[in-house]
Amino acid sequence: MTTDELEQLLAQQPVALLHRLARGRVHRHFRAGKRRLIELLLQHSSQNRAGLESDLETLIGERHSPLGSGSPHIHRAPAITPKKASPRGAEPESAETAVSLSAWLEGLGVPSPQPFVPDPWQNEALSALNEADVVISVPTGSGKTYVAVEAARRAMEDNRTVIYTSPLKALSNTKYTEFSRIFGPDTVGILTGDRQENGQAPLLIMTTEILRNLLYDAASGEIDVRLDTLGLVILDESQYLADPERGVVWEETIIFCPSQARLLLLSASIGNPQDIADWLTSIRSTVCRLVRHSKRTVPLRAGYLHPNGKLTPLFKTLGIPYGHPSHLHPEAKRLFLEYEEETLPTGRPRR
Amino acid sequence: MPPSIHPVDLITALRQKHLTPAIVFLTSRRACDDAMETFDHADLLLPPARQEAIDVALERITVQHPSIAEHPLIPIVRRIGIAAHHAGHLPSWKIAIEELMRQGHLDAVFATTTLAAGVDFPARTVVITQSSIRKSRDFTDLTIGEVQQISGRAGRRGKDHVGFAIVTPSPYIDLAVLTKGLTGQPEAINSQFTISYPMVLNLLKAHPHEQIQGILAKSFAQFQLNQRAELLEQKLDAVHVQMEPFGPRVCTDWITQWHTFDHARRHRHTRHQTHRSESPEISARLPFLTPGRVVGLGKGRGIVLRQYRSKGQKNSMLTLLRPDSAVTECPVTSVKEVYDRTYDCTETPTYPWCSTETFDRLSHQLAELPSHLPVLPILVPLGFEPLPDAIIQSLGDFPCPTCPSRPACQKDFTTASRLRQEQQRHTKSIQALRTSLWHRFQERVEVLQKFGYLTPATQLTIDGEWARLIRIDHSLLITELIRAEAFSGADPSLLAGVLASLAHDDDRPGAFPRISPGLSSLLGQVRKLAESLSPYEDPPLLRADVAALVERWVSDPALTWIGLCRLTTMAEGDIYRLLARTLEFLSQVQALKSTHPGLAESASQAITLIRRGVLEELP
């Protein structure tokens, strides 16, 4: 959700909802009028965007559920929502009641196969790549590979070569197999420390160190012709930039990456992707666009399993209460305190 | 209640709630192996149909990777559908487990957290049992990013509606770390830019020295330093604004002017001793005038009973025991001699300032003192620095005493000088942030010039030309070894052995086979050189055991993988990684074909000899 969208969404909500949202976030929120409240919430959102968004969604959902709105007395009554099959399904939506185990376990199972439709952010990233470098920072398992494959396909259709790097040899090998299956074995080559196959293919997979060495050799005059036709460099797992030993290799690679080639950085969720994008913009001839989101494709639920085999939800809410680490499920809290009391030697302070 | 859930109970619980397949993250490899052992006699058999499916899948993988055929974990994998996956295993085993997991044959995998950052390996559920991980010998709390990497493995796209992250406690778990990790925003990442010797050589090969500052400025490190510098600049601007009312007055730089004036004024002050203080001679004596000391006065002698300060007196006072048991008070200035003689004296806080026995004894001893006593030589320190007369005299020249803005200056001076100090501090920090990378580069350049890889004009020397091709850790040590011709005439196994000890940076202990005398003396030479280079490069671990192990593998082509593993207590996966790292180092040495043909030949022979058995099987 962009800031503009968030602002619009906030503006559509009744002021009472905004006050509930502001509780615990904005100091003396009850003094503020609607416009001022939106302003303050947006200011706050810079600190914890994900938490604000997820709470907002919960509140909106509550308001739209037929019985839940306005009357706290009916909160606990079974409500039927179209989403949930069980009559108890609406319960976890409320912020006050803790979710029950059966509701928490609901929805387990295998979804029916669905035709693949690219997510909006994937399309956004691909179209941005037409005129800019792109940094993608999304949670694990969101489908970064799809973007990499499509981007590589488009570059190769343009008769440009593509280099794909990953930090680990094992990952390179996996990708080699995967890309060979997608593009055909002749189009894909691999260069790692001890494996060189199909080195003239238009799509080359290598470890980042190898690419760094290639770039150094090219810079010192031992020109590799292939760098002239290089159209796209994909750096997977770019969060390795912060690796204490190897991070420097990513920086060198990015600094020396030929200017005519587009850069595509794929990274897991990190705290400052905007910094990376700004950095790229500042050192390269093209601008760099950031594509990020923090919503997982498959939603996550957290549970607590006691050593005696009892399973309870970890948080009061069904999903993860982003920004509220203390919203523990009362049962989980009780069990864990019990556990700590039993395992910690007496007289020792709790860690 | 056991401190943590039993693995068998864990799997039972997960199966019961249909939370499989699951990845169980454990603290250590050892914990994973122990967990697997508990299933030896467990009654959790898979239905026969699934067992057969695993058999079929395993057979298919074994064709590609024969080394897993005899793996000791296979029976459990087959019967129960669980496996262990950690860095101690061979890559082929890990590939096999990943493949089985992907095809949905396994119910659970016990893994260490290294898995979270590695391969694409999703499951329906992840089980978190710890809140800290071992990082270079120490346990540190998981970061938010790490917790999210781990929980990111939960929920397979297209195969699950929801993913589950289940926390199960073990001793010393900190639930707050995990809840914060699950609900928080991942941390910002920071640049880890370091300037290595090969980087300097390669940069100087391709670019003239003047351009390099511009290249370094392009790094993310500099970008982040600039961000910090900008913050400081904002602060500096704020200080400038605060400084505005303290701008030029009668004199342009009134702060310095006032500072000097004020300083001189205070200095002059010390000249007129209005307060009590001793002359250097007296104060040098004071430490010796302790109870029990014999002193000479203008008339006769005395023994010091106490030293004290008295309000009306300029100097310190002494209480003395005089002949005939008289107790008198006198200022220290009346002491003419301090003798080299002391007696034991038990002090008391009231008159006569010592115990009665001491008093009697001292009176007795004072009477019996010989007529001549040695005088204690007391060194008198040179007095205070003579006051800078120039400043004192020029006090009259200062405009301040008669200046109209004197009261204002006096009032504002504290604030203004604090602000100015702040301003200077910020300016300095900004300067340092902007140029630190360049300075680090220059330091490296100086070292390389000292060792003769660069000319004084920062051109690459002949040695520099080939040294830039060694782009691995400990590059300076390796190039120095090559220049010292340490490897000349060394056969491939010795070369591989030494490079292995340079490459291996893990400190997990391992037992080792007998080390050959040739390798041992070569390692001694390497160690000596590494020590002498330690101001310029962190020395490697240089473990003899890994060197001996690799030497055996290279020199004895009949040695099988199993045989090699029996020679040491290292885990299979570690041996594999050791050999792979050694290969990497060897291939760098092999690149020196044109300048060091003999060495390169030796390296390429070693590479061929290493790549056999398990190492050949993997791509």
Q: At A221, which CATH number?
A: 3.40.50.300
Cα separation, A74 vs A84, whole angstroms: 18
- Show the 3-state SS of B6-51: CHHHHHHHHHHCCCCCEEEEECCHHHHHHHHHCCCCCCCCCCHHHH
Query: Cβ B120–A276 below 8 Å, yes or no?
Result: no
User: A38-52, B122-136, B205-219, B362-376 — which one is most confidently predicted on average?
Assistant: B205-219
In chain B, list all ranges with CATH 2.30.30.
280-367
> Superfamily assignment of B7-183 in CATH?
P-loop containing nucleotide triphosphate hydrolases (3.40.50.300)
> What per-residue confidence (pLDDT) applies to B277?
63
Q: Are A196 and B587 in contact (CB under 8 A)?
A: no
In chain B, list all ranges with CATH 3.40.50.300.
7-183
Domain residue limits at A285: 120-292
Which amino acid is present at A337? Answer: L
Cα separation, A54 vs B602, whole angstroms: 62
% chain A with pLDDT above 70: 87
> What per-residue confidence (pLDDT) applies to B118?
59
Residues A166 and A270 in one domain: yes
> Cβ of A187 under 8 Å from any chain B Cβ?
no
Mean pLDDT, range A143-160, rounded to an integer: 92
% chain A with pLDDT above 90: 38
Residues A53 and A156 in one domain: no
Residues A139 and A49 in one domain: no
Which residues of A are less than 8 Å from B174 in CB distance? 351
pLDDT(A12) > 60: yes
Q: Are B618 and B91 in contact (CB under 8 A)?
A: yes
Q: Are A273 and A292 in contact (CB under 8 A)?
A: yes
> What per-residue confidence (pLDDT) applies to B586?
93
Mean pLDDT, range B138-149, rounded to an integer: 87
Residues A54 and A179 in one domain: no
Residues A212 and A222 in one domain: yes
Query: Residue B405's pLDDT band (boundaries 50, 70, 90)?
Result: confident
> Cβ of B149 under 8 Å from any chain A Cβ?
yes
> Cβ of A311 under 8 Å from any chain B Cβ?
yes
Give the range among A311-325, B50-64, B337-351 with minimum mean pLDDT. B337-351
What is the crossing angle of helices A273-283 and B220-243, to 10°?
100
Residues A182 and A284 in one domain: yes
Which amino acid is present at B132? Answer: S
Closest CA–CA distance from residue B183 to any residue of chain A (Å): 4
Give contacts of A 198-217 with B, CB under 8 A: 209, 212-213, 216
Residues A115 and A248 in one domain: no
Give contacts of B 62-121 with A, CB under 8 A: 91, 94-95, 118-120
Residues A274 and A324 in one domain: no
> What per-residue confidence (pLDDT) applies to B117?
63
> Cβ of B472 under 8 Å from any chain A Cβ?
no
Which residues of B are less than 8 Å from A305 in CB distance? 5, 10, 13, 127, 166-168
Number of domains in chain A: 3
Q: Which two tokens stand for residue B576?
A: 């594999």
Closest CA to B172 of B111, B135, B129: B129
pLDDT tens per residue, range B586-606: 999 998 999 999 999 999 999
CATH number attached to the domain at B280-367? 2.30.30
Which residues of A are less than 8 Å from B132 in CB distance? none
Give contacts of A 17-56 with B, CB under 8 A: 48-51
Q: Which two tokens stand for residue A15?
A: 């002021």
Of the candidates A272, A326, A336, the beta carbon closest to that of B169 is on: A336
Query: Cβ B191–A113 below 8 Å, yes or no?
Result: no
Question: Nearest residue of B to residue A248 by CA position?
Answer: B193
> Cβ of A146 under 8 Å from any chain B Cβ?
no
Chain-centre distance of CA B228, in angstroms? Answer: 23
Query: Cβ B13–A309 below 8 Å, yes or no?
Result: yes
In 10 A of CB B310, how many CB atoms? 12
> What per-residue confidence (pLDDT) applies to A129?
93
Q: Are A210 and A168 in contact (CB under 8 A)?
A: no
Higher-pLDDT residue of A252 and B253 is A252
Mutate which of A46, A101, A178, A248 to test chain B, going by most B C-beta atoms within 10 A?
Answer: A248
Mean pLDDT, range A146-160, rounded to an integer: 93
Of the candidates B157, B162, B184, the beta carbon closest to that of A301 is on: B162
Alpha-carbon Rg of chain B, whole angstroms? 40
Query: Residue B267's pLDDT band (boundaries 50, 70, 90)?
Result: low
Of the candidates A174, A176, A271, the beta carbon closest to that of B186 is on: A271
Find residue B546's DSSP bridge partners: none
In chain B, list all ranges with CATH 1.10.3380.30.
469-617
Closest CA to B454 of B463, B210, B589, B196: B463
Query: Cβ A242–B122 below 8 Å, yes or no?
Result: no
Which residues of A are less than 8 Å from B152 in CB distance? 139-141, 268, 296
Cα separation, B225 vs B437, whole angstroms: 9
Cα separation, B207 vs A255, whole angstroms: 14
Helix (H) or strand (E) holding B335: strand B335-342
pLDDT tens per residue, range A236-262: 999 999 988 899 999 999 999 998 899
- The predicted complex's ipTM stands at 0.75
Give the range among B74-83, B263-272, B461-470 with minimum mean pLDDT. B263-272
pLDDT tens per residue, range B483-512: 998 888 778 999 999 999 999 888 777 766
Q: Are A335 and A312 in contact (CB under 8 A)?
A: yes
Q: Let me know how long chain B is.
A: 619
Residue A135, phi then psi, degrees to nearest 5: -110, 125
pLDDT(B377) > 70: yes
Question: What are the E-state strand segments in B206-287?
Answer: none
pLDDT tens per residue, range B108-121: 999 987 766 656 67
Q: Are B487 and B599 in contact (CB under 8 A)?
A: yes
Which residues of A are less than 8 Å from B13 in CB distance? 305, 309, 311
pLDDT(A349) > 70: no
> What per-residue confidence (pLDDT) applies to A235?
95
Helix (H) or strand (E) holding A104: helix A101-105
Mean pLDDT, range A114-118, rounded to an integer: 84
Query: Residue A81's pLDDT band (boundaries 50, 70, 90)?
Result: very low
Mean pLDDT, range B440-457, rounded to an integer: 95
Per the prediction, chain B carries an average pLDDT of: 87
Query: Residue A84's pLDDT band (boundaries 50, 70, 90)?
Result: very low
- Work out the burial of residue A166: count CB atoms within 10 Å of its CB; fewer than 13 is exposed, 13-18 middle, 19 or more buried: buried
Residue A244: C-alpha distances to residues B187, B508, B581 (Å): 15, 20, 18
How many CA atoms within 13 Å lie on the side-chain side of A57?
Answer: 13
> What per-residue confidence (pLDDT) applies to B529?
94
> What per-residue confidence (pLDDT) applies to A77?
41
% chain B with pLDDT above 90: 40
Give contacts of A 227-246 with B, CB under 8 A: 239, 241-245
- Show the 3-state SS of A37-72: HHHHHHHHHCCCHHHHHHHHHHHHHHHHCCCCCCCH
> Cβ of B188 under 8 Å from any chain A Cβ?
yes
Written out in words, the top-level CATH class of the domain with range B469-617 is mainly alpha
> What per-residue confidence (pLDDT) applies to B605?
93
pLDDT(A194) > 90: no
Query: Cβ A282–B223 below 8 Å, yes or no?
Result: yes
> What per-residue confidence (pLDDT) applies to B391?
60
> What per-residue confidence (pLDDT) applies to B190?
93
> What per-residue confidence (pLDDT) applies to B582?
93
Question: What region, left, alpha or beta, does residue B108 occupy, with left being phi > 0 and alpha being psi -120 to 50 degrees?
Answer: beta
Residue B22, phi then psi, degrees to nearest 5: -135, 150
Closest CA–CA distance from residue B35 to any residue of chain A (Å): 15
Of the candidates B17, B160, B471, the beta carbon closest to that of A298 is on: B160
> Cβ of A272 under 8 Å from any chain B Cβ?
yes
Q: Are B408 and B247 in contact (CB under 8 A)?
A: no
pLDDT(A310) > 50: yes
Which residues of A are less than 8 Å from B582 in CB distance? none
Which residues of B are less than 8 Å from A114 in CB distance? 158
Question: Nearest residue of A to residue B129 by CA position?
Answer: A305
Mean pLDDT, range B390-412, rounded to an integer: 76
Residues A178 and A135 in one domain: yes
B531-539: Cβ within 8 A, 24+ apart: B533/B476, B533/B477, B533/B480, B536/B447, B536/B476, B537/B197, B537/B474, B537/B476, B537/B477, B539/B477
